[in-house]
């Protein structure tokens, strides 16, 4: 009478003992995996000793750009940042703006990334709702504080693409959205394009 | 006989007048309490949408929802949903919000009231009643930010 229960509990125990071996696979979803892939690829480039040399600096920057370009949807980011003004622009203007915007992001952030020094990246959580998802991570600096970074991603053709980053609770897109609309309101769209272009020229010098 | 009838009429007149004034008094009282209490008796115009935040930090029902500093609605409910704050927003009729709008919790001035700021987006799709603002920015906790950089981490 007692046997089957005993056997069942035994089987259950064995099953349970196997469980802890696969917690990562169960926890990290597809979205986190894809973000992690990109982040790891960037870290690989950053940790590459050969590429750290000053003469290889340009190659390193180029490599980082390539990796980031694959995961980040700059068009969507530019569109969201331009917000209401996006609809008023012609397709050519939009195309030009996307290029300028991605240059701006690259110039601003690639430099920041390059200062990376053995910070650890912890993947905390992901939440998928339909086509959209949020991947929560944090960057743990050796001694100082930890910086929460959230990736807002959406699925397009089976691939998750980043459309916004939230650092310390501040959205990148929202930041540019308010800046751009302010510049456009106080002067004009042309002025904004001029400003972006000047900035790119200055940074790449 | 006539005199009795007359006084009766007079009494009725006074009573009607008093009753009439009392009625006006009650009506104004009701009006004032509805106005002051921000109550909505008649079905309100507009539609409700939802927004999820990690940190609702001090938002209370009745807080205003603004675009460019102009009120376009208000927060009607603040609930906890899966350990996150779920705000129910009542948006005025005629205000259309793009589905990539960003809702952020902001403070009026340094220590003022909290409100929900919406920045309109670029999408051609608009949020419908019962929709959800996906992109939100939580209240920034200045205290924890300061302590983080002042004291560091263990």
Summarised one tens digit per residue, pLDDT across range A113-132 is 777 777 788 898 888 888 88
Q: How far apart (Å, rounded) are the C-alpha atoms in residues A70 and A187?
A: 34
**Does the beta-carbon distance from B122 to A84 stay under 8 Å?**
yes
Counting one residue from A and one from B, how many pairs have CB atoms under 8 Å apart? 58
Per DSSP, the three-state class of A155 is strand
Find the mean pLDDT for residues B116-140: 88
CB contact under 8 A, A83 and B122: yes
Q: B4 vs A194, which has greater pLDDT? A: A194
Q: A146 and B153 in contact by Cβ < 8 A?
A: yes
Q: Which of B102, B122, B152 sits opposite A86 (nearest CB)?
A: B122
Query: What's chain A's average pLDDT?
Result: 81
pLDDT band for position A24 (50/70/90)? very low
Which of B97, B121, B123, B125 to probe by mutation at the A interface, max A CB count within 10 Å? Answer: B121
* pLDDT at residue A22 greater than cutoff 80: no
CA distance B122 to chain A (A): 4
Chain A CB within 8 Å of residue B107 CB: no
Residue B47 C-alpha, separation from nearest chain A C-alpha, in angstroms: 22
Check residue B66 and give its pLDDT. 92
Enter the ipTM: 0.71
Three-class secondary structure of residue B118 per DSSP:
strand
Phi first, then psi: what are they for A50, rounded to 5°?
-60, -40
Between residues 29 and 58 of chain B, which touch chain A (CB distance below 8 Å)? Answer: 54-55
Q: Where are the beta strands (DSSP E) in chain A?
A: 120-129, 132-140, 146-156, 159-167, 170-171
Q: What are phi and psi of B74, to 5 degrees?
A: -150, 165
Q: How confident is the model at residue B118 (pLDDT cuts 50, 70, 90)?
A: very high
pLDDT over 70, % of chain A: 84
B131 in contact with chain A, both atoms CB, cutoff 8 A: no
Nearest to B138 among A80, A84, A169 (CB): A169
User: Using CA atoms, how far apart are residues A204 and A103, in angstroms rounded to an integer?
Assistant: 10
The residue among A80, A101, A122 with the most chain B CBs within 10 A of its CB, best to mutate, is A80
For residue B57, what are the CA distances in angstroms to A38, B105, B141? Answer: 33, 8, 8
Q: Which one of B120, B149, B153 has the shortest CB-CB distance to A83?
A: B120
Q: How far apart are the first and last CA of chain A?
A: 84
Residue B27 pLDDT level (bands cut at 50, 70, 90): very high
| CA closest to A177 among chain B residues | B119
CB contact under 8 A, A177 and B137: no
Smallest CA-to-CA distance from B65 within B16, B101, B21, B29 is with: B101
A132 vs B contacts (CB less than 8 Å): 134
Q: Which pLDDT does position A28 carry in this prediction?
A: 65
Q: What is the rounded average pLDDT of the residues A87-113?
A: 86
CA distance B71 to chain A (A): 18
């Amino acid at each position: 009478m007692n046997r089957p229960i005993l056997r069942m509990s035994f089987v259950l125990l064995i099953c349970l003992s196997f469980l802890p071996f696969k917690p990562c696979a169960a926890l990290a979803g597809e979205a986190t995996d894809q973000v992690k892939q990109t982040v790891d690829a960037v870290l690989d480039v950053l940790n590459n000793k050969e590429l750290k040399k000053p003469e290889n600096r340009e190659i390193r920057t180029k490599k980082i750009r390539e990796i980031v370009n694959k995961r980040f949807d700059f068009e969507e980011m530019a569109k969201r940042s331009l917000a209401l003004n996006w609809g008023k622009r012609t397709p050519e203007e939009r195309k030009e703006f996307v290029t300028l915007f991605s240059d701006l992001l690259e110039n601003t952030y690639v430099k920041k990334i390059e200062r990376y020094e053995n910070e650890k990246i912890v993947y905390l959580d992901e939440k998928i709702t339909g086509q959209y998802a949020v991947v929560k991570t944090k960057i743990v600096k050796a001694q100082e504080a930890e910086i929460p970074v959230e990736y807002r991603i959406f699925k397009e053709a089976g691939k998750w693409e980043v459309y916004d980053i939230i650092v310390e609770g501040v959205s990148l897109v929202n930041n540019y959205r308010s800046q751009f609309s302010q510049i456009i309101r106080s002067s004009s769209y042309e002025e904004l394009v001029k400003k972006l272009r000047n900035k790119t020229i200055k940074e790449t010098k | 006989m006539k005199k009795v009838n007359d006084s009766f009429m007079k009494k009725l007149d006074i009573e009607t007048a008093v009753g009439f004034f009392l009625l006006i008094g009650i009506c104004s009282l009701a009006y004032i309490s509805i106005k002051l209490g921000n109550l909505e008796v008649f079905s309100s115009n507009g539609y409700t949408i939802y927004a999820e935040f990690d940190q609702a930090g001090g938002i209370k029902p009745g807080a205003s929802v603004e675009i460019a500093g102009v009120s376009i609605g208000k927060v009607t409910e603040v609930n906890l949903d899966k350990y996150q704050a779920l705000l129910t927003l009542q948006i005025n009729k005629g205000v259309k919000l793009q589905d990539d709008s960003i809702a952020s919790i902001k403070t009026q001035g340094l220590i003022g009231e909290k409100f929900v700021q919406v920045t309109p987006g670029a999408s051609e799709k608009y949020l419908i009643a019962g929709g959800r603002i996906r992109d939100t920015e939580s209240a920034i906790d200045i205290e924890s930010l300061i302590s983080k950089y002042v004291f560091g981490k263990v």
